[in-house]
Each structure stands twice: as structure tokens, then as C-alpha cells.
Amino acid sequence: MTLKRGSILIIILWSLFFLGVLALAISSYVRPRLDLGSRLLRRARTHYLAESGAKRAMLELEKDDTDSYDALSDSWATGRALTGELRGGTFTVKFVDEESKININTVKRDVLKDLFEIIGEADSMRSEELADALMDWRDEDDDTRDDGAEDGYYSLLRPGYPCKNGPFEILEELLLVKGMDAELLEKIRDKVTIYSEGTVNINTADGLVLRCLGLDEELVGKILSYRKGTMRGGTTEGSWTFDDVGGITTYLNEAEGLSNEEIAQVAKVFATGIFSVTSDNFMGESLGKVEGRPDASRVIFVFDRKNKKMKYWKER
């Protein structure tokens, strides 16, 4: 009887051992899948939070109070953030005015040259070559400019490819242009766009962009001083806005005082039609996060509020 009981005990012990091993095996199989499921669920939640933030941002852009002009005092202005809470999570959206940048698909060669020289910090010769190459890339003909490149150049590369002869569709396409490299692209990236209407909003463009458009440094300083509301003599009366392109010279002259040479400079540059006082295209980055978790999702978008059209959408 004792032997029989001992055998039963051994069988029970072995059974418990195998059940334990089986439990460990099942656990090692199931736990990673449960963790994956949990991560996917959190990922879905952060994604929808980011998407909700982007949609909320579009509504905010459409609510702009001023139809005749746009400026850095508006609610969407660069550097400000739109935040919100939704079902245990948050979203944060930051805006960038695409009309404050230089549109590489529309500006003239001289602006491109100054862009590469002033912002890209390239020397004069390289800036000339890059400007010609970019113009050849985007124009529709096969005529090579003095320092440019067409199919004859690009076909000899390894691997070779044709010249686009059309507008840029993404900024990274610049890396295909003769003479361009990643370092230079990073220097100019925040100052260029392919999404604007082609004009530059004088109320939102920074000093470097204004200089690239043909205004000298002293005149640019007066424009920035006017936007801050600084009068001659150093007194400041809040921020001011250019609300009419045609009156810009008058506004500047009254507030800052312009020389005859500066008046002529303004007239020359403004005659090209490059300046505006409104903005309709905005890039936004919406970040969605679940409360108490490091996980985050991003949605980057470009919204044309005038035509209520999404020009770009990328999820990360």
C-alpha cells in the first residue's frame, strides 16, 4: 500500500511538473502577443489623438478673424500651440505659415541665388550654379543654362535619371539637382516651400527670407521694427501689421523714415508682385499622447484653408 501511494505521489509530482512547464511555455508564447496587442492599442489611441488634433487645427485655421491680412499676432502664429484633451489622452498642434517661406517652384533665379548664398551659406559661384541647375530642373525645356544641367548631365550619373522638367513635388527632390547635398538642404529647409501660392507674406516672413527677396539688411531691419511697433526714437506701441500691399511704403516711411534709395528699393521689389499680406497655406504637426505613457504619434499636414484642401498628409 505504501509503495502504491508513493507511485501515485510521484505521478502527481510529475504531472505538476509538466503542467508547470506547460504553463511557462504558454506564458512565454502568450505574453509577447498580449504586450504586442497592448502596444498596438496604445498606438491606435495615439494615432487617433494626433488625427483629432489635426482636424481641430483645420477648424482653428478657418476661424481666422481677419480676412484682409494675416500676421504673427494671429492664433495660428508660428511658435504657439493648440492643445486639447480627449478620452485619457492629449494632442498638441503647432503651425508654420507656408506663405512666410520662399516657393522654389515659382521664384526667379536671383531669389534662388540669394537663398543659397544668404541662408545656405554657399559661396557666390556655387550659388550661381545651384540657381541655374534648379531652374533647369523645374522648367519645361531642354535648354541648358550657363551653369545648369539637363538630361545630358543626369543621364551620365550612376545610376542615371532624367531631368524633371517640372515642378518639385517634395523638398527632398532637391537632392536630385546638380550641386545640391543634404547639408545645404538642411540649412534652407525651414525657409523654402512648395505649398504656398508663390507670394511671401511680409507680415510673417523672417529677416533672412526678406533679404533673399532683394531687400538690404537695413531696410529689412526697419520692416521688422515696424512689425514690433517700434517708432523712430525707440518707443514701442505694441505690434503693427501691414494690412495692404499698396500702402507698405507709406506705412514704413511714416513709422521708420525711408531714404530715397530705400523707397526706390521697395518699389522695385514690390513691383515683382512677390509680396502679399495674407496667408492661406499652413503646415501643422499634431502630436498625440496617451496620459501617463511615453508613446506618441505624429501627423504632419499642409492645409489650404482658402480652398479647404489638404495638400499633404503624413503619419509617423
Q: Is the dihedral of CA 229, 231, 237, 242 positive or negative?
A: negative
In this prediction, residues 85-108 reach a mean pLDDT of: 91
Whether residue 265 contacts residue 191, with contact meaning beta carbons closer than 8 Å, is answered with no
**Helical (H) or strand (E) element with 89:** strand 89-97
Please state, rounded to an integer, the average pLDDT across all residues of the chain: 86
Q: Is the dihedral of CA 61, 67, 71, 75 positive or negative?
A: negative
pTM recorded for the entire structure: 0.83
Q: How many CB atoms lie within 10 A of CB 98?
A: 25
Q: Which CATH number fits domain 104-191: 1.10.40.60, 3.40.50.1980, 3.40.50.1110, 3.40.50.2300?
A: 1.10.40.60
pLDDT at 22: 59
Boundaries of CATH 1.10.40.60 in the chain? Answer: 104-191
In this prediction, residues 157-164 reach a mean pLDDT of: 94
In this prediction, residues 40-66 reach a mean pLDDT of: 81
pLDDT at 36: 44
**Lowest pLDDT segment from 67-71, 135-139, 229-233, 239-243:** 229-233
Residue 34 has pLDDT above 50, yes or no: no
User: Comparing C-alpha atoms, which of 313, 314, 52, 205 is closest to residue 60?
Assistant: 52
